[in-house]
């Protein structure tokens, strides 16, 4: 009996895009879906009410590594799990911690059974193993858990990428075995997704995906993208992997992308994405609108009475002018981050809704054509 199931409701006849429903113990999610990132069990600048009620977010992502370092999985479990701790009623996906261990921590040592790493906060040494990261994520109570993977930097040699990919597959088997044992006695439902690695080598990506098929998991992720490679390469790696993965399971591309790239990933068969871009860029003054980007500090917005995005229904665009947002940004006011984040997340969610609608109404190829034409004009 699966706890997380996926239903395809419409498929584009010309691309690999599909619209679906992802059923989780904390609600059903319409796909393709963008998941806002709540690194520290909070999407910076937004309340859970903003997210669940105003923005209608059905699933968000939290970071295993960050919450493990502080406040710790034992405390979160003691407080009733992550949903209760952060007062979040909908689904939660937690990443494996692999990406953070390999990108944030100073010292790290990979061995066959896991990775020893140094906390970026206090320098303490910790170990993640395939089994321990499952236990940590079960302590959080995540609806969707990710397996521990090795996320190699870019570029690496084919030889190293193969060795690393094979380790990721081994870890995925160990994690999956442990997860299944834990599920035999678990009163709550969860899903575990393995992660396809293989750096920027299509042959390794395909080999990895094929090896992970044996695990027969509820979904599959593609990781190791957005690590500094040229952007077209991330799309190429997705394309190389996608047709190996089963069509009846959700596919999740980790850590992508820019607004114009979202439909490109969907066109390549991706159902789930997450990225810190909308929230981080919002705080840095970089806003995504239906008419292109707005860099709010520019002097031209100083006395601009128009809303940030005239086509957006978010609270920020309904209530405030660009001039006011620019003023808040220049003054370093907290409200700026609140309003800007709310808009940027809404923009991403609107794009995903538009994509889903286009797939269901059989007009996705036209939608894609428009996005491509608009982004080549912007360049």
Chain residues that interact with Zn ion, rule: CB under 5 A: 309, 312, 314, 316-317, 343
- CB of residue 34 to Zn ion, shortest distance in Å: 15
- CB of residue 310 to Zn ion, shortest distance in Å: 9
Our CB check for Zn ion shows the closer of 56 and 366 to be 56
- CB of residue 14 to Zn ion, shortest distance in Å: 31
- For this structure, is 124 an active site residue? no
- Given the structure tokens 């990108």, which residue do they identify? 103
The C-alpha angle 32, 350, 310, rounded to 5 degrees, equals 165
The partner residues of 30 in beta bridges, in order of sequence, read: 21
Q: Judge whether 234 and 222 are in contact, CB under 8 Å.
A: no
Closest by Cα among 126, 131, 141 to 66: 126
Handedness of CA 102, 108, 114, 119 (dihedral sign): negative
Number of neighbours of residue 201 by Cβ within 10 angstroms = 18
Our CB check for Zn ion shows the closer of 71 and 354 to be 354
Our CB check for Zn ion shows the closer of 205 and 322 to be 322
**Distances from the Cα of 164 to the Cα of 98, 193, 217, 239, angstroms:** 12, 18, 21, 21
- CB of residue 316 to Zn ion, shortest distance in Å: 5
Handedness of CA 136, 141, 147, 152 (dihedral sign): negative
Annotated catalytic residue, options 50, 95, 143, 253: 95
Our CB check for Zn ion shows the closer of 179 and 301 to be 301
Query: 260 in helix, strand or coil?
Result: helix
Annotated catalytic residue, options 271, 274, 309, 350: 274
Handedness of CA 25, 273, 288, 366 (dihedral sign): negative
- For this structure, is 303 an active site residue? no
- CB of residue 53 to Zn ion, shortest distance in Å: 16
Q: Judge whether 349 and 57 are in contact, CB under 8 Å.
A: yes
Our CB check for Zn ion shows the closer of 17 and 43 to be 43
Q: Which residues are catalytic?
A: 95, 274
């Amino acid at each position: 009996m699966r706890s997380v199931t996926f239903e395809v409701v419409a498929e584009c006849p010309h691309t690999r895009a599909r619209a679906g429903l992802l059923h989780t113990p904390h609600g059903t999610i319409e796909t393709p879906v963008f998941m806002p990132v709540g690194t520290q069990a909070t999407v910076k600048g937004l309340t859970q009410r903003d997210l669940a009620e105003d923005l209608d977010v059905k699933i968000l992502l939290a970071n295993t590594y960050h919450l493990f370092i502080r406040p710790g999985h034992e405390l979160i479990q003691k407080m009733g799990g992550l949903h209760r701790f952060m007062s979040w009623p909908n689904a939660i996906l937690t990443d494996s911690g692999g990406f953070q261990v390999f990108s944030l921590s100073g010292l790290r040592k990979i061995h066959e059974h896991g990775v020893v790493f140094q906390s970026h906060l206090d320098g303490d040494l910790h170990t993640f193993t395939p089994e321990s990261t499952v236990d940590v994520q079960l302590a959080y109570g995540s609806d969707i858990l990710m397996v521990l993977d090795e996320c190699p930097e870019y570029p690496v040699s084919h030889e190293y990428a193969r060795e690393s990919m094979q380790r990721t597959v081994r870890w995925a088997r160990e994690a999956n075995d442990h997860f299944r044992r834990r599920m035999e006695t678990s009163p709550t439902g969860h899903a575990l997704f393995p992660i396809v690695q293989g750096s920027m080598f299509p042959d390794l990506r395909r080999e990895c995906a094929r090896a992970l098929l044996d695990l027969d998991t509820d979904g599959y992720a593609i990781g190791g993208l957005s690590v500094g490679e040229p952007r077209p390469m991330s799309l190429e790696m997705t394309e190389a992997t996608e047709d190996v993965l089963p069509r009846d399971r959700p596919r999740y591309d980790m850590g992508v992308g820019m607004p114009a790239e979202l439909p490109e990933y969907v066109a390549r068969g991706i159902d789930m994405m997450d990225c810190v871009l909308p929230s981080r860029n919002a705080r840095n003054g970089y806003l995504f609108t239906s008419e292109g980007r707005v860099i709010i500090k520019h002097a031209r917005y100083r006395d601009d009475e128009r809303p940030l995005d005239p086509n957006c229904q978010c609270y920020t665009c309904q209530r405030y002018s660009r001039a006011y947002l620019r003023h808040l940004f220049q003054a370093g006011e907290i409200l700026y981050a609140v309003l800007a984040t709310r808009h940027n997340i809404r923009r991403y969610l609107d794009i995903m809704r538009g994509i889903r609608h286009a797939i269901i109404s059989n007009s996705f190829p036209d939608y894609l054509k428009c996005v491509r034409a608009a982004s080549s004009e912007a360049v």
